[in-house]
Amino acid sequence: MQDLTHIVEKVKSIAKEAGAFIRKERQNFNLDKVEQKGLNDLVSYVDKQAEMIIVSRLQQVLPEADFIAEEGSAGTSGKDWTWIIDPLDGTTNFIHGVPVFSVSIGLRHLDEIVLGVVYEINQDECFSAVKGHGAFCNEKPIKVSPSKCLSEGLMATGFPYSAFKQLDQYLAVLKALMETCHGVRRMGSAAVDLCYVAAGRFDAFYEYDLKPYDVAAGSLIVQEAGGTVTDFKGGKDYLFGKEILASTPLVYREIQDILSTHWKS
Which residues are documented as binding site?
Answer: 70, 86, 88-89, 214
12, 104 in Cβ contact below 8 A?
no
pLDDT in tens, 99-121: 999 999 999 999 999 999 999 99
Residue 217 pLDDT more than 50? yes
Give ranges for CATH 3.40.190.80 in the chain: 150-262
CA 87 – CA 57 distance, rounded (Å): 13
> Residues 6 or more apart from 91 whose CB is under 8 A from it?
42, 43, 44, 47, 101
Residue 192 has pLDDT above 90, yes or no: yes
In this predicted structure, what is the pLDDT of residue 160? 78
The pLDDT value given to residue 73:
57
- The model's pLDDT over 25-59, given as tens digits with 9 standing for 90+, comes to 888 876 666 666 554 445 678 888 899 999 999 99
Q: Is the pLDDT of residue 222 over 90?
A: yes
Which residues are CB-neighbours of 70 under 8 A, at least 6 positions away?
47, 51, 85, 86, 87, 211, 213
Q: How far apart are alpha carbons 151 and 254 in whole angstroms? A: 10
pLDDT score at 127: 98
Please answer whether residues 137 and 125 qualify as being in contact, where contact means their C-beta atoms are separated by less than 8 angstroms: yes
Give 51-68 pLDDT, tens digit per residue. Answer: 999 999 999 999 999 999
What is the per-residue burial (b if ≥16 Cβ within 10 Å, else e) of 170-201? beebbebbeebbeebeebbbbbbbbbbbbbbb
- Residue 2: its pLDDT value, please? 78
Residues of the chain with CATH 3.30.540.10: 4-141
Residue 40 has a pLDDT of 42
Which pLDDT score, from 0 to 100, does residue 74 have?
Answer: 54
Distance CA 71, CA 224 (A): 28
How far apart, in Å, do the first and last CA atoms of the chain sit?
Answer: 38
Q: Cα–Cα distance between 132 and 203 in angstroms, integer? A: 22
Binding residues for Mg(2+): 70, 86, 88-89, 214
Question: Of 27-36, 64-73, 131-140, which has the strongest mean pLDDT?
Answer: 131-140
Residue range 5-21: average pLDDT? Answer: 97
Q: What is the CATH number of domain 4-141?
A: 3.30.540.10
The pTM is what? 0.92
- Residue 65 φ/ψ, nearest 5 degrees: -90, 150
Say what the alpha-carbon torsion angle 205, 247, 2, 111 is, to the nearest 10 degrees. Answer: -80
Confirm if 106 and 233 have CB atoms less than 8 A apart.
no
Cα–Cα dist 99/123, whole Å:
9
**The predicted structure's pLDDT at residue 44:** 76
pLDDT of 109 reads 95
The CATH class of 150-262 is: alpha beta
Which one of 19-28, 63-72, 178-187, 194-203 scores highest in mean pLDDT? Answer: 194-203
